[in-house]
Amino acid sequence: MKVKRHALILEIIASQEIDTQEGLTKALAEAGINVTQATVSRDIRELKLIKTATNHGSYKYTVGGQEETEGQDRYLRIFSESVTSVNGAGNLVVLKTITAAAQTAAEAIDNLGWPEIIGTIAGENTVVAIVKNIEDTDDVVTRLKELTGKRF
């Protein structure tokens, strides 16, 4: 039922300008699904819906995270274009980048959310990624190299 309701919510907000939880609850009821406002509130959180401005100054629910995904894609594209080498040493991974690209490369790594990497430090053209367990370093190096699409 929840999956069907979520699909219907996405359909509703794509076709209507819904700006309140009450409005969404009403639209669901009109489609034959009666839920409480608390359920709609949970659904909004789970679907990561956000309110965005319309062309005529009001607001409406839209699917959140699209900007985030586009941002991540942009970081990964810049990452793949700017990284010139990836090497492991102990529990550290050292990446060399073209000048002024290290901070963007570090941000791309941080956004990956890999649990093996506990953080990054970036300079002008060097990134150091700290790997939690030394046993994971080689795997992290391999995966980062794959993200660049290059052979070093």
User: pLDDT (tens digit, 9 = 90+) per residue, 125-142?
Assistant: 999 999 999 999 999 999
Domain boundary among the residues 64, 87, 118 is at 64
- The secondary structure element, H or E, covering residue 145 is helix 137-148
Domain count for the chain, please give it. 2
The confidence band for 143, taking pLDDT boundaries of 50, 70 and 90, is very high
Write out pLDDT tens, residues 11-61: 899 889 999 999 999 999 999 999 999 999 999 888 888 888 777 778 888
- Statement to judge: residues 103 and 123 lie in one domain: yes
Question: What pLDDT was estimated at residue 70?
Answer: 57
Residue with tokens 């929840």: 2
Q: Which of 108, 80, 105, 85 is nearest to 95 (CA)?
A: 85
- Statement to judge: residues 59 and 74 lie in one domain: no
Find the CATH number of the domain harbouring 119: 3.30.1360.40
- Statement to judge: residues 11 and 29 lie in one domain: yes
